[in-house]
Chain A
């Protein structure tokens, strides 16, 4: 499954790059992109673990930029 999420208050391009790198390292993530320009996170992962992956990805984002929230 592939799904996009809107990122609110993603303020720095370098942070977006850091988030992307961190999320791509998560287990179960096939591919992930964080686009600073369109303020979007796109994750591709297997269906059965998708929700868990999204949860972990949200944690990664919070870790890099605590002000940034993922709109689910």
Chain B
């Protein structure tokens, strides 16, 4: 608790004690000695706990703030005393202050929880300058300088490891608990914690451009984009208070003209004033979204604003990019079809020829062959065809169909999906190897979970149709649109955007590499694997810091849970308030019920809102 909160708590305790003492004094006849003692005790309690409310009420009314809650509470409590309800007048103020205190502590706590969750900001950097290591602020280090990170320290800046090996804890950034192993030559990202080995890192960019700075900026700015519900509630609050206050005035003035009993009606009107504060509503909505965004960030899901979380709830169309989103984006040998030689021989010859190529497909063949690769010489890459090399005195050609035609090898037509590499040895066809991109684990589960919640799923890709359709079938996607050129993707997104059900949102999930326009066009753009990719962090509305495809559905679940909490709070708070107002108007309510409708509801709504943070 802050000093201000402790102070407030102390005042509440003292006032409550005085108030309790006052309750023991018998009411006595009006204006006799005992009555004055009792009044004196109540007034002492009242001023102890409520002087600041009275002061603010006076000061704010001077500023023209008519519907200020301090002012309303003052009228309600003073009014109650004037009509002789001393204990209630004091109790209203005490409970109001208890509620305010609780609210302040709860909000402060959730704010701190969320700040801790994204506690990735490095405090210092150990920079090596002229052989001396000194501790400086991270933003004083320039690109190209060498920093030293000891075990247990946070990596302060992005860079490349030039000495040492260690495991890195990336949990604060990605939500993943498995450490990431790094050694010389690996890129490391600021915000990770070095677990066990000393690392020397050559800084690649200054602090202001670092991953940590980008993420912090994203999180900081997330409060600027408010959800529609939040804006609606604040607008509602602006009319709610005046309406209830006017209701109170009418209640105090009109019915007594016909039925008398001024005291009763004034009491009911004062009760209205207590209920007129819109706090519970106004605070619980942003707190829920704030909690939802905070809870998501702990799992490596960065959301740029409450409006996106809200839109994600109403998403009915999910458009996926294929490579790197639903698939790993790395290639793997998935089939070997030899002709006249054994599978192993085919793989070995092909790998030998492809050995010196840097193409990802060539790398995957070399990887599949493992140690079993013969020496090759005179290796030559023929752009648009493939490679040619001498392996054990034989001429090996590996590449596409055109290469086979070129060397006159009679090839067979492969019946499969994926990328095909044909091989010819000394001009004779030796078979083909199929390379395919691996579907990410969890992709099928994610798609089926989205489909079962009534959403339409679409996959866009530039790949050839057979490959795309096979992948679409494997993950169970509804619609697959293949052979798209890069600008075709955004056009397709436009079409789907036009065709989406009314009032629903379209979500585009991509890896942020080439699909920035599509990410921007969608209602919600989700970028995968944002760690280390500035383009993705900038273009998307939601950034998944790791490559885990399951996080797409996790984000949807968080959005739904947050939405449910927001709705619960609105219905509950409004319901109780309306109920108490109705009861009061008919003389069935009292000020205690009104205090509950104001403060109690506020507290319950806050506790409920804080659930959004938990997973």
Contact = CB atoms under 8 A, between A and B. Distances in A.
Contacts of A12: 69, 279, 283
Contacts of B278: 14
A64 B237 contact: no
B234 A20 contact: yes
A37 B65 contact: no
B60 interface: yes
A4 B111 contact: no
Contacts of B56: 66-67
A40 B115 CA distance: 14
A14 to B, nearest CB: 5
Given A37-B107, A66-B59, A42 B224 contact: yes
A50 interface: no
A37 B59 contact: no
Contacts of B69: 12, 14
A33 B226 contact: yes
A21 B282 contact: no
Nearest to A62: B63
A35 B282 contact: no
A26 interface: no
A58 to B, nearest CB: 14
A36 B286 contact: yes
Q: Interface SS of chain B: helix, strand, loop or mixed?
A: helix
B287 interface: yes
A37 B111 contact: yes
B419 interface: no
A36 B234 CA distance: 12
A35 B224 contact: yes
Contacts of B287: 37
B405 interface: no
A49 interface: no
Interface in A31-72: 33, 35-40, 42, 63-64, 66-67
Contacts of A13: 279, 282-283, 286
- Chain A, interface size category, equals 20 to 34
A36 B224 contact: no
Interface string A5-16: 000010111100
Interface string B60-74: 100111000100000
A13 B60 CA distance: 16
Which of A14, A39, A40 has the most C-beta atoms of chain B within 10 angstroms of its own C-beta? A14
Interface string B264-292: 00000000000001110011001100100
A17 B226 contact: no
B57 to A, nearest CB: 12
Contacts of B60: 64, 66
B590 interface: no
Contacts of A4: 220-221
A35 B278 CA distance: 17
B286 A37 contact: yes
Contacts of B234: 14, 17, 20-21
A37 B290 contact: yes
A3 to B, nearest CB: 12
A38 B220 contact: yes
A33 B286 contact: no
28 contacts: A4-B220, A4-B221, A9-B4, A11-B100, A11-B104, A12-B69, A12-B279, A12-B283, A13-B279, A13-B286, A14-B277, A14-B278, A17-B238, A18-B65, A20-B234, A33-B224, A35-B224, A36-B283, A38-B223, A38-B290, A40-B220, A40-B223, A63-B63, A63-B65, A64-B60, A66-B56, A66-B59, A67-B56
Given A17-B238, A21-B238, A37-B107, 6 more contacts: A4-B220, A14-B277, A17-B282, A18-B238, A36-B286, A37-B223
For the complex of A and B, list the 8 residue pairs with the smallest distance between their C-beta atoms, beginning with the closest.
Answer: A35-B223, A13-B283, A17-B234, A37-B290, A38-B223, A13-B282, A14-B282, A63-B63
Interface of A: 4, 9, 11-14, 17-18, 20-21, 33, 35-40, 42, 63-64, 66-67
